[in-house]
């Protein structure tokens, strides 16, 4: 049992580090006021699908804190929490759709929708409350924040889905859950 906890902690650390590294692999245009399309969500969802929502949540918190420390933009303490640790942590909740069940592509899609929608809510609230001044004249702040954040989160979610489906198809055992030491537990892929 202790060995399984240690392995999980090591996986969380490795995946958090990998996620931060992958956040620098950006696709498409850069957004003027934050946001980008990258592979940052892939390792967080891998942890959520492989080890459960708690491991995904912790991985996300670590990614958010490291991202903040390596170039975050802060205007208020609540905005800091919304845009960094919380926005990445909620991605881990996508693991609720698959953990302790067979991992199918449809469950992955549901998990990605859950996590990405919650991340969108975090960035949307931050945008409405602290960055509304950047909305073009005549555009409601809520509409601007929603469209701005959706413009990079939707493509990022689709790219993440493509990578996860590729991993699932080429190496289905990668997503099998590990049984605690001394127990036999099989979960189909």
* Domain spans, the chain: 2-175
- The rounded distance, in Å, linking the Cα atoms of 127 and 33 is 10
With contact defined as beta carbons under 8 Å apart, do 55 and 48 qualify? yes
Per-residue pLDDT, 172: 86
Of 23, 120, 25, 100, the C-alpha closest to 55 is 100
Query: pLDDT tens digit string along 88-113?
Result: 999 999 999 987 778 999 999 999 99
DSSP, res 83: I
162-187 tens-digit pLDDT: 999 999 999 988 887 654 334 443 43
Strands 26-27 and 37-38: antiparallel
CB atoms within 10 A of CB 92: 29
Q: pLDDT (tens digit, 9 = 90+) per residue, 56-74?
A: 999 999 999 999 999 888 9
Model pLDDT, residue 30:
64
pTM given for the model: 0.89
What pLDDT digit, counting tens, does each position of 122-161 carry?
999 999 999 888 899 999 999 999 999 999 999 999 999 9
CATH fold, domain 2-175, is: Arp2/3 complex 21 kDa subunit ARPC3 (1.10.1760)
34 within 8 A of 127, measured Cβ to Cβ: no
Gap between the Cα atoms of 186 and 35, Å rounded: 40
């Amino acid at each position: 049992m202790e060995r399984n906890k240690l392995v999980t902690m090591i996986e969380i650390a490795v995946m958090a580090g990998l996620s931060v590294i992958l956040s620098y692999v950006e696709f498409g245009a850069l957004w003027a006021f934050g946001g980008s399309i990258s592979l940052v969500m892939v390792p967080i969802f891998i942890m959520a699908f492989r080890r459960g929502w708690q491991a995904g949540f912790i991985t996300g918190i670590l990614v958010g804190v490291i991202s903040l420390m390596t170039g975050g933009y802060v205007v208020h303490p609540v905005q800091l929490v919304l845009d960094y640790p919380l926005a990445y942590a909620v991605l881990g909740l996508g693991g609720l759709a698959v953990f302790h069940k067979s991992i199918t592509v449809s469950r992955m899609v549901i998990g990605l929708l859950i996590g990405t929608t919650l991340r969108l809510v975090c960035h949307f609230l931050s945008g409405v409350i602290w960055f509304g001044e950047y909305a073009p004249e005549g555009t409601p702040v809520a509409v601007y924040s929603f469209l701005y954040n959706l413009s990079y989160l939707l493509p990022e979610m689709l790219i993440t889905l493509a990578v996860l489906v590729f991993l699932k198809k080429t190496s289905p055992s990668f997503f099998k859950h590990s049984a605690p030491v001394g127990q036999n537990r099989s979960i189909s892929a």
